[in-house]
Chains A and B, each alone.
Chain A
Amino acid sequence: MAKVTFNIDRCKGCNLCVEACPKKILALSHDELNAKGFHPVEIIDESRCIGCGFCATMCPEAAITVEKEGRAEISAAMEKVLMKGNEAMAEAAIIAGCRFFFGYPITPQTEVAAYMAKRMLEVGGVNLQAESELAAISMVMGASSTGVRVMTSSSSPGISLMGEGISYLAGCDLPALLINVQRAGPGLGGIQPAQSDYFQATRSMAHGDFHIISLAPNSVQEMADLTMKAFDLADQYRMQVMILADAILGQMMEPVILRDAEKKKLPEKTWAVTGTGGRRKKNIINSLYLSVEELDKVNRERFARYKIVEEKETLFEEYMTDDAEIVMAAYGATSRICKNAIATARTKGIKVGLIRPITLWPFPKKAFQKVAQRAKAFLCVEMSMGQMIDDIRLAVGGSKRVAFCGRVGGMVPSPEEILEKLEQLNGGGVNA
């Protein structure tokens, strides 16, 4: 049996859901009035509901939620399941309460959209394949304006196309989850894994002064956990949060436990455009400011918020750095390959560790500054021509050598070539 809940005060009595219901178990109330002064919809016989979600899809006010039992039990049972990274992110978003997905399929991210197409029907959400990525991000903006949890996902070229919309989201301080399952570039590039969108995610998503929070998972479990966290971060700071994954993580299957969403106390969305019910001044979502003073003020307020994010939300993993003379830096799939290289290097007596940034913005500068005091050199490993390496150099400030090992075009660095680089560094006077 399914459970239908109505946000009664949002209902305008348009009757669309009543007509859409195949079981004819919805009707407009005869005697009740809602805050807007309409007769709101009610369910006559919930036991006959089949959970098709047609009512929720039809509702122009997004006032109906349909939850179907069965699939939702997966999370309750805490059972380990084998899932693709892309699917785990999609399911985690549903668990986190996301009921709106707008996207456009692109390899190697398509499973997110495919999963949502099936699953949103079951939970009474909205899944819409837009005509382009630009349309999708604009739909995200519309949905987010109303205060709901909303997401989109794409891969590198598609994210570029969304750039304009993401800047508008930032200018309007609208929370949203953006997923980028990176592929090789530039241009259409290729469909194989890459990490060459680091600059885009941390510096130059689009025009204007703004940041987005970038999270970099390195396992299917983290893809699920960070997706849930991303929605909380987005709502907490009214920011756009990106999961920066890559084709390996998106396509691989690993055992994952889908935990229930953490119930965090988040600020109320008093800014959302939900209608006023005649009780207060209406909210307006806008990024255009013709007064220079006002635009200066909102920019400064936004950056004050960014400062708090930098102080409170920086995440990283340190692995065997305690006695390390060479410290590697890698995020996402490459960090896993680095761990393989570390295992072999350690048997050869090379003292090497790893710092894995989990938030790419804010970047864990302090972690690098701390190990720079005792480490002799750094080795940054990326599937790019060298992008994150700039942040490491900025963090350690030229005090230590920062070497690079990278592959592009969809090639993945092997543990052997990383090991070779480590041996060179180790032999190059580092261990003398």
Chain B
Amino acid sequence: MKFAIVVNEGPYTHQASDTAYQFTKAALEAGHEIERVFFYHDGVNNATRLTVPPQDERNVQRNWSELGKAHGLDMVVCIAAAQRRGILDENEAKRQGKDADNIAEGFRISGLGQLIDAGIQADRLVTFGD
């Protein structure tokens, strides 16, 4: 079965991203497909590579990046939400005249249409938020 996952909160403040990660991992382990993981609202903050959590704590961004790499996940960050919150890839940074980008490996920035498309393509859509 194909799942689409929506993550609406950032790392650490709320548990939503952790739960979404555990759910996605369990779905893959059970042999399901993940059509897309879509990061919206403050969920876009999961995609910055500049976080430095204490060593004895989980690294939410790295967990996603590694899971994405291991399973070839399509992890999409909403561009409108990302621009509001300062999540940029190289192209966007250039386009907006910013001096740096911060998107982590495995994430890509794209439009809200990717969320609707995920809802159309997947058999089930599960939202994690607050």
Check if A and B associate.
Answer: no
A interface with B by C-beta (< 8 Å): none
